[in-house]
């Protein structure tokens, strides 16, 4: 189909008859619920519905309907194939969710380790099947509670974990062999992984059996979320050190979750999310190979993390395109031989940025539809946002409702019975191909920069995202994109909802705990361990061993991160708007 015929107002060229038919029938279908539809023939081209230019969130024009000509050069074996078969467009499991339901993994963390530990016990009791740790900003930035820059931030948007002692309290009563744990941690990911592994060691759990994920995706921090500490190159070394270490010692650990979520939340389109995330993935694989690793020793433990946003069909197409692109990249660009290296596994989370503070109960519906898109796109793990998250961290009731939303989709709707239920849909297949083509164009642009690290240094993805964010905000304010309860159907009298309030007492508690720890531990051993960390950073040996040793003697997160700051310095981006 020519691109012009996608626009119902631009009917031209050889395909005009077909396009005209398309325009007419679509208009009829839009108006057919109206009793006057039999009289509409003459006026149909004047209909506002007909005139309206419709685009996806990525700006791709959407035709009123799709048909077989849209897929005329689609090759089933090459482009789709059965679920569980290369290129995995239709999913990585032959039996879809019949064989293995997605993991219901609700991201949670706030206040002290004890408070978050309580929430974990509640989530496990409510049927949650995986834990997911949200850390506070000082932890994410590798700073202790007594660091002056941590003031006012402790335990506010996640749990404060400053040492192995905090990790012990966070997982009190939870055996690490019984759960899989995802930790959203990036720059200090090796240190938090070291704490988790030492905790397993002390619980008597073999590292071979420890399973979970660290986000460990520094590139999207430079691109979008901005929680970086060190410059890009030493940061990349930490990541390949984790690849190498886990390949040998913790083979069930997912060493990285290459994340588009934050890229999307920063304002990117779906296409940019897809393209930048997968290109980040390519960068990690390349750095791993350049560090001397065999691709098949670390690629199978890479996982991905995408946003589940509101443009329903475009999101489903995004997930399908992601699997197809990745399998081809791994097989053709990197010559991976293990089919586990070809399969893209991903977690998804509904879009925090789509939630509204106004009429907050509407957010339950947003999360439901977004979760449905993720499930229809074959997500392997899912977090549904709580209804109160535009206002605060979720209350216990709101978090439970979010989990129940997933359980209803999984156990009441029947959607889980058939893999890739929308496969073969003219629309979905056309959109999937569109996403793939656009992502490949971005790959070329980033390859031309010299790679993703270089593109980031040039500010390329950052600029692209800032443009999209501003464009989207203008679309909202012009009324082009509706936000129910905010730009339309406004109701000032809507019910208020209860919210969680994190007071300042966490700060004092964590400061007290830290002081206690510093009195009890062996200061000389800590100093020696930190010296080893510094020496390793200055050399080329794997960072994990010295970090594990520092954790064992209760060196704090801030001390370990500062040791590396001493050697590598800190990254500062050039502000731009």
What residues make contact with another protein under the rule CB under 8 A?
A: 137-138, 140-141, 143, 149-153, 156-157, 221, 225-228, 265-267, 353, 355-358, 390-392, 466, 469-470, 473, 477, 483, 486, 499, 501-502, 504, 572-577
Helix (H) or strand (E) holding 87: none
Nearer to another protein, 448 or 477 (CB): 477
Residue corresponding to tokens 């015929």: 5
Phi-psi region for residue 155, left (φ > 0), alpha (ψ -120 to 50) or beta? left
The smaller minimum CB distance to another protein, of residues 236 and 483, is found at 483
CA–CA gap between residue 395 and residue 386 (Å, rounded): 8
| Closer residue to another protein (CB): 241 or 389 | 389
Handedness of CA 162, 114, 351, 100 (dihedral sign): positive
**Residues facing residue 132 across a β-bridge:** 107, 182
Count of CB atoms situated within 10 Å of the CB of 169: 17
Least separation in angstroms between residue 157's CB and another protein is 5
- CB-nearer residue toward another protein: 136 or 434: 136
**Shortest CB 59 distance to another protein, Å:** 18
Query: Contact at 8 Å (CB) between 92 and 343?
Result: yes
| Residue 327: burial class (beta carbons within 10 Å; 0-12, 13-18, 19+) | buried
Least separation in angstroms between CB 83 and another protein: 36
Which CB sits closer to another protein, 328 or 356? Answer: 356
Q: Which is nearer to another protein, 185 or 502 (CB)?
A: 502
Q: Which is nearer to another protein, 146 or 201 (CB)?
A: 146
Nearest to 151 by CA among 530, 510, 546, 562: 510
How near is the Cβ of 241 to another protein at its closest, in Å? 24
Whichever of 223 and 325 has its CB closer to another protein, that residue is 223
How far apart (Å, rounded) are the C-alpha atoms in residues 471 and 430? Answer: 25
Nearer to another protein, 264 or 323 (CB): 264
Nearer to another protein, 36 or 478 (CB): 478
Q: Compute how many other C-beta atoms are within 10 angstroms of the C-beta atom of residue 501.
A: 8
Identify how many contiguous H helices and E strands the chain contains and give both numbers: 23, 9
Q: Is 153 helix (H, G, I), strand (E, B) or coil?
A: coil
Give min distance, CB of 170 to another protein, in A.
Answer: 20
Residue closer to another protein by CB (options 502, 536) is 502
Q: How far is the CB of 510 from another protein (least distance, A)?
A: 14
Minimum distance, C-beta of residue 228 to another protein, in the bound complex (Å): 8
Q: Least separation, in Å, of the C-beta of 576 and another protein?
A: 8
CA dist 442 → 290, 464, 466, 470 (Å) = 23, 11, 16, 20
For residue 87, the number of C-alpha atoms closer than 13 Å in the C-beta half-sphere is: 22
- Give start and end residues of each alpha helix (H) in 171-269: 189-203, 218-220, 232-249, 261-265
10 Å Cβ neighbour count for 302? 24
In the complex, the smallest distance separating the C-beta of residue 540 from another protein, rounded to whole angstroms, is 30
Instruction: Please state the closest distance from residue 456 (CB atom) to another protein, in A.
Output: 14
CB of 559 to another protein, least distance (A): 18
Minimum CB separation from another protein for residue 173, in Å? 28
Which residue bears the tokens 């390349």? 286
CA of 480: how far to CAs of 26, 55, 415, 448, in Å?
A: 21, 10, 32, 34
CA distance 88 to 80: 7
- Please, which residue, 151 or 172, has the CB nearer to another protein? 151
Give the CA diameter of the chain: 89
d(CA 575, CA 483) in angstroms, rounded, equals: 30
Contacts of 125 (CB under 8 A, 6+ apart): none
Cα separation, 537 vs 90, whole angstroms? 43
């Amino acid at each position: 189909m020519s691109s012009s015929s996608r626009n119902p107002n631009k009917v031209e060229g050889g395909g005009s008859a077909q396009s005209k038919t398309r325009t007419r029938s679509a208009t009829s279908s839009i108006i057919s619920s109206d009793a006057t539809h039999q009289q509409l023939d003459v006026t149909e081209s004047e209909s506002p519905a007909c005139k309206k230019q419709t685009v996806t969130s990525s700006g791709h024009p959407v035709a009123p309907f799709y048909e077989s000509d849209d897929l005329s050069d689609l090759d089933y074996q090459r482009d789709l194939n059965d679920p569980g078969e290369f290129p995995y467009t239709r999913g990585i499991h032959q039996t879809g969710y019949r064989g293995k339901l997605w993991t219901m993994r609700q991201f949670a963390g706030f206040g002290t380790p004890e408070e978050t530990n309580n929430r974990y016990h509640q989530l496990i009791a409510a049927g949650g099947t995986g834990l997911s740790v949200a850390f506070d900003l000082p932890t994410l930035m590798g700073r202790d509670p007594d660091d002056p820059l941590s003031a006012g931030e402790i335990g506010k948007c996640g749990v404060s974990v400053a040492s192995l002692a905090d990790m012990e309290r966070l997982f009190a009563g939870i055996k690490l062999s019984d759960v899989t744990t995802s930790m959203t941690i990036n720059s200090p990911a090796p240190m938090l992984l070291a704490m988790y592994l030492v905790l397993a060691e002390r619980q008597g759990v073999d590292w071979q059996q420890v399973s979970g994920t660290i986000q460990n995706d520094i590139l999207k921090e430079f691109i979008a979320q901005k929680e970086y500490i060190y410059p890009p190159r030493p940061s990349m070394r930490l990541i390949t050190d984790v690849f190498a270490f886990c390949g040998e010692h913790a083979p069930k650990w997912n060493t990285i979750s290459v994340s588009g979520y934050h890229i999307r939340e920063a304002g990117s389109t779906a296409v940019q999310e897809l393209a930048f995330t997968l290109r980040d993935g390519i960068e990690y694989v390349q750095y791993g190979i350049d560090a001397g690793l065999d691709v098949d020793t670390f690629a199978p433990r890479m996982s991905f993390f995408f946003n589940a946003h509101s443009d329903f069909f475009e999101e489903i197409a995004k997930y399908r395109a992601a699997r197809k692109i990745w399998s081809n990249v791994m097989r053709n660009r990197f010559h991976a031989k293990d089919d586990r290296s070809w399969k893209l596994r991903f977690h998804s989370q509904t879009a925090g940025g789509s939630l509204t503070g106004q009429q907050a109960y509407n957010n339950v519906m947003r999360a439901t539809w977004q979760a449905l898109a993720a499930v229809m796109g074959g997500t392997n793990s899912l977090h549904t946002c709580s209804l109160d998250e535009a206002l605060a961290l979720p209350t216990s009731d709101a978090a439970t409702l979010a989990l129940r939303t997933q359980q209803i989709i999984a156990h009441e709707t029947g959607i889980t019975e058939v893999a890739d239920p929308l496969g073969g849909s003219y629309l979905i297949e056309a959109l999937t191909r569109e996403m793939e083509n656009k992502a490949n164009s971005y790959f070329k642009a980033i390859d031309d920069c010299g790679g993703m690290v270089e593109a980031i240094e040039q500010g390329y993805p950052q600029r692209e995202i800032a443009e999209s964010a501003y464009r989207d905000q203008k679309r909202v304010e012009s009324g082009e994109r509706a936000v129910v309860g905010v730009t339309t159907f406004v109701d000032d009298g809507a019910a208020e909802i209860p919210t969680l309030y994190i007071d300042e007492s966490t700060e004092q508690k964590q400061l007290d705990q830290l002081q206690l720890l510093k009195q009890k531990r062996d200061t000389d051993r800590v100093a020696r361990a930190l010296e080893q960390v510094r020496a390793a950073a200055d050399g080329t040996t794997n960072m994990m061993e010295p970090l594990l040793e520092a954790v064992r003697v209760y060196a704090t997160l801030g001390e370990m991160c500062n040791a590396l700051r001493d050697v590598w310095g800190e990254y500062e981006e050039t502000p731009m708007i």
